[in-house]
Each structure stands twice: as structure tokens, then as C-alpha cells.
Amino acid sequence: MRPGDHRDRPCLFRNLVPLVLASASPRRRELLSLLGLEFEVFPAEIEETISPGKPPEEIVKELAHRKALTVARRFPEAAIIAADTLVVKGKYLLGKPKDLEEARQMLTSLSRAWHQVLTGVCIIYKKKESIFFTETKVKFRELSPEEIEAYLATGEPLDKAGAYAIQGLASAFVEKVEGSVTGVVGLPLSETVEVLLKLNLITPVKD
């Protein structure tokens, strides 16, 4: 378990209960740290197999729920935040590529095309529970084979859903975004904060 990196940052909100981020993703950790909240990091280890034919929005919600439940059993006095992200291109679901060739195929399919990024979030605190998802539409400009190869060589695509990081080097590929940018990164901050406030788990910092 690791603490969130919130030191020496302005605080917009403060905790009312202990928080645990059930994710190994450094992007989600960075996003939550932006708020100034104190939290621990405890990645959830779950089986990510899903019944065939399930809608993508149900997949991300179910996986986020599984992650939150797993970690909640370890930390019964804390509020658990878990998330799962999936990229959808037409009828294809793009998770994290298993190798460079699969990443190459994903990036080629996204070139000059719209796709959707769905992020499911589950927040659990004792008997309180909220599960939701955001959908963001993203369009890439046309990518040359040379650009794709250069991006693959950086190593950035390999642990990202859809084989790209919108907040990283792939920001140079993005032509348009409709929806939550932080949802594409891995944790929709506006919607997550709204739920944390509604469940009385955090509060704005006051002088």
C-alpha cells in the first residue's frame, strides 16, 4: 500500500473518511492527487473475464465494481475508489495491447477516426455505493506509419487501453474531444468528485 502523492500541493478538498485508490495506474493516482486529497494506493487483483456480448458500459462498471469490492474487504473503514477504462472502435473493444504488434494494429485502426473511451467508476464506503460510467468521443488525425512506429518505440502505448495516452505523447494525435478528458486518462474527476461530495466522503477546504 502506497500513499498518494499530495504533498506540497494546494488542496481543493479534504477527506472526511480514509480513502483508498484501488488501482495500480499512475495516471489515476496523479489525477486524484490533483485534488489535494489524502489517500492510499492498493491495486486490486481481479479476474477480468466478462460474459460475451455484454455492452461495453456494463463491462467497465462491472470490472470497477469487482475491483472496489475486492479492496473494500481489506479496508472496511475506508472509502474505496476503483475504475476501469475501455476504448471502443465500432464493434471492437480495445483494452491494453498484449504486445507491440497489437498496439500497432490498434493505432492504425484509430487513425483518422472517431472512437469512444468508456470509464466505469465504483465508490464504496461501508453500506454506501455508487457505480457510474462516462463516455468520451475522441477523434485522431491521420497518422503516418512512421508516426505510429515512432510512438511504439517510446513504449508509452503498452499499458494503456487503446494503446495511447491522451495526456502523454499521443496528445499530438488528438484532433477533437467530446466529453471528459480526465475520463479518457482513467478517472473522470468532475463526476467522481460529485459522487464523493454527495456521499459525504470529502468536503471543500475552507479557511
The catalytic residue positions are 84
Instruction: Report H helices in the chain.
Output: 26-33, 56-72, 100-110, 145-154, 181-185, 189-198
CA proximity to 121, closest of 173, 178, 196:
196
CA proximity to 85, closest of 53, 125, 115:
115
φ, ψ for residue 15 (rounded to 5)? Answer: -70, 145
Contact yes or no for 170/129 (Cβ under 8 A): no
